[in-house]
Amino acid sequence: MGVKHPPSSPGTPPDAAGGGPTLIVPLTSITERLALENFFATPQPMEVELGAGDGSFLARYAQLHPERNFLAVERLLGRLRKLDRKGRRAKLANLALLRIEAAYFAEYLLPAHCAQALHIYFPDPLPKKKHRKHRLINMRFPQIARQVLVPGGTVYLRTDDADYFAQMQEVFGAASDWFTPVETPAELAAVVTDFEREFNAQGIPTRRAAYRLK
């Protein structure tokens, strides 16, 4: 598959703070699918967060589920380093981090049928109408999710933006041949992001949706 939209910055210098070796994995190629067997010490089911932010969700969720591996993808280095420190303080051997743009990563670098779940929480809403097609969850996204999820894998979505939430529902509603809506498990919903906590404190509700690959 050809390269259409190269990521902004594939390289990531190590960050020594937090104790132990960095969890940030350097990318050796931005055109070849990842060799995920090199990312984790123990082979086990893997989940991916696209746009991990400061890692407040994934650092906690990876602690709750040592029987799964977690891959965090984030474009901004400062946020990724924050998650790296959290992960190393918690000694999370089941967490790996990549610095790259999420949409490009999902389409061009993730191997086929490698992920049990995709977590996408509070992605940039790009509120201008002309930019909606550039949102991460657009009409092409179900095809990409179908490519990387295992059969029965699930896409978990959260946003505070009503318009973006409507687009998410429209996108996956149009992909009903592939995906069926399901409930977000209560345990998963209880693990909130820092953004989510701030929004909820202001009275802004979390809008959640989940779709399972048939």
Residues annotated as catalytic (active site), given as ranges: 124
Token digits of residue 98: 């990549």
Residue 32 makes CB contacts below 8 A (sequence gap 6+) with: 109
Strands 46-50 and 115-121: parallel
The amino acid at 92: L
Cα–Cα dist 45/59, whole Å = 17
Cα–Cα dist 65/23, whole Å = 17
Cα–Cα dist 50/106, whole Å = 8
User: Which of 41, 42, 47 has its CA nearest to residue 70?
Assistant: 47
